[in-house]
Amino acid sequence: MQNTFLTMLIATFSVFALDANADWNPQAYNAIKWTAPNQGRNTIAYTTSVGITRVPIAYHGGVDTNASGEITEQNISHFKQWVLERLPSGYCGPVVLDYEQPWWQTLGSKTITHEALQEIISVYGESMQIAKNTLPDAQWGFWGLPLLRNTGEKWKAQGVSLDPLLKQCNGLYPDIYDSNRGKDTSARAQRHIESVLKSAAGQIPVYVFVSPRFTGEGKDHSYFIPDDVFLRHVNGAMKAAWTDATGQVHKIQGIILWDAYGYTPEAGWDELDTKHAYYFQLMQALVEAWAKSMVGVSVETNVVHLPSCKYALPEPKNSETAIDDTPLQHSSQNNFQNRERSNLESERIPTGRIPSGRE
């Protein structure tokens, strides 16, 4: 099934003029949220064997370590300690700030005032400056931004834009989580990522978060995405491209797989590990197929500094050393866990379900 569907995808790839020598070499990345030792053994064995690296995530507000909406000296101290413990000096790879509360509902609303957006941009911008001052070469960015809502024409028609914030980031990390079981939303995913690439303007690398589960199912996280649907959806992001005024094509740097062990009872962890390893196999096959098909094609992904900067952290030998969900400051929030998009219901394909709130 895997090989057949990949062959079909290759047959539908858009072909660019073969007039330069900057090949595209997209990467698959790991961001599975482990919660205990000895999780993900099969996954780690596979990702390590093929060179997939792990993207670090500062959960619970990133720099705003208690997700209060105000950055204090204590927040900054806690954040710098996290960087010191988790990231090597001189690290220039991707790293994500998970800063959702208390701003997410406002950012995802149908309408937003210029004043409210400016307040959000100000505090996010402050977070970004602190992060860059702490580790200047790292590709700092905010998980999920811009939201699907933020790249929609109706939202932009208000005369508002997140671009002033996005241009301060060293990396962009939008998601294309699939909230529409039974519907093909790959074309919408492609349009969203093309809008993000346009906002990046050839200056900032774009990494796309994907999930192996359907979201939009209330608190039921048991629905895993079938192989063909998953590949088609991820391929929407892979197909995305933006061409600048000089004719240079810009595409994403890679795909980041995120999931949480917290969604699955302990009795199902081994099965979950097997699933994760398989989804990584699908992703790796897809990025390798794209790389092979784009040899000789001029593509830019905007990763700066050294070629090694396209890689994240090496996979750990055991999940115990890479549990990122410990609050940076004594906080009970678990902001990154629930991506139901209940506040973005108008942009979903109708499914007849009543959306639930965030956990």
Q: Is residue 348 part of a domain?
A: no
Q: What is the pLDDT of residue 341?
A: 34
CB atoms within 10 A of CB 119: 14
User: Which DSSP state fits 12?
Assistant: T
Residue 337, pLDDT > 50, answer no
- pLDDT value at position 319? 94
Q: What is the pLDDT of residue 308?
A: 86
Compare 302 and 206 and report the one with higher pLDDT.
Answer: 206
Cβ-based burial of 287 (10 A; exposed 0-12, middle 13-18, buried ≥19): buried
Mean pLDDT of 113-120: 95
Note the pLDDT of residue 221.
85
60 pLDDT band, cuts 50/70/90, is: very high
Q: What pLDDT does 296 receive? A: 85
Please give the residue range of the domain that contains residue 327. 2-339
Distance separating alpha carbons of residues 305 and 322, to the nearest angstrom: 26
> What is the CATH number for 177?
3.20.20.70
Residue 349 is assigned to a structural domain of this protein = no
Q: Please, which pLDDT band fits residue 5 given cuts at 50, 70 and 90?
A: low
Q: What is the pLDDT of residue 358?
A: 29
User: Quick one: pLDDT at residue 6?
Assistant: 57
The per-residue pLDDT for range 317-335, each reduced to its tens digit, is 999 999 877 655 543 333 3
DSSP secondary structure code for residue 66 in this structure: T
Instruction: Determine, yes or no, domain membership for 261.
Output: yes
Task: Give yes or no for a contact between 258 and 54, defined as CB atoms under 8 angstroms apart.
Answer: no
Whether pLDDT at 151 is above 90: yes
At 346 the pLDDT is: 31
Give the 3-state secondary structure of residue 26: coil
pLDDT, average across residues 248-271: 97
Structure tokens of 229? 């649907």
Quick one: pLDDT band at residue 77, thresholds 50, 70, 90? very high
Cα separation, 109 vs 152, in Å, equals 12
Residue 180: the pLDDT is 81
Q: What is the mean pLDDT of the chain?
A: 86
More confident residue, 311 or 13: 311
Per the domain annotation, does 352 fall within a domain?
no
Which residues are within 8 A (CB) of 272 and not within 5 positions of it... i.e. 6 or more apart? Answer: 259, 261, 264
Residue 36 lies in a domain: yes
User: Residue 302: what pLDDT?
Assistant: 87
pLDDT for 338 beyond 70: no
pLDDT (0 to 100) of residue 61: 94
Instruction: Please give the full DSSP string across 283-304, using - where no structure is assigned.
Output: HHHHHHHHHHHTTT--EE----
Within-domain flag for 8? yes
User: Does residue 355 lie in a domain region?
Assistant: no
Segment 259-282 shows an average pLDDT of: 97
Torsion angle of C-alpha atoms 142, 147, 150, 151, degrees rounded to 10: 110
185 with 152: CB under 8 angstroms?
A: no
For residue 21, is pLDDT > 90?
A: no
Q: SS3 of 143, please?
A: strand
Give burial (CB, 10 Å; 0-12/13-18/19+) of 274.
exposed
Per-residue DSSP letter, 30: E
User: In angstroms, rounded to a whole number, what is the distance separating the alpha carbons of residues 329 and 78?
Assistant: 7
Per-residue pLDDT at 291 exceeds 90 = yes
pTM for the model: 0.87
Q: Is 239 helix (H, G, I), strand (E, B) or coil?
A: helix
Predicted local confidence at residue 8, as pLDDT? 56
Average pLDDT over residues 268-297: 95
DSSP class of 247: S
CA–CA separation, 252 and 301 (whole Å): 6
Between these two residues, 217 and 59, which has the higher pLDDT value? 59
- Report yes or no: 140 and 134 within 8 Å, Cβ to Cβ: no
- Helix, strand, or coil here: 80? helix
pLDDT at 202: 95
Residue 344 in domain:
no
Q: Which residues contact 31 (CB under 8 A, 6 or more apart)?
A: 54, 55, 57, 96, 209, 256, 257, 258
Domain count along the chain: 1
pLDDT at residue 14 tops 50: no
Q: Report whether the peptide linkage leading into residue 102 is cis, meaning its omega lies within 30 degrees of zero.
A: yes
Question: What pLDDT, in 10s, does the model give residues 159-215?
Answer: 999 999 999 999 999 999 987 888 899 999 999 999 999 999 999 999 999 999 998
Q: 316, 317, 298, 212: which is closest to 251 by C-alpha?
A: 298
Predicted pLDDT of residue 9: 53
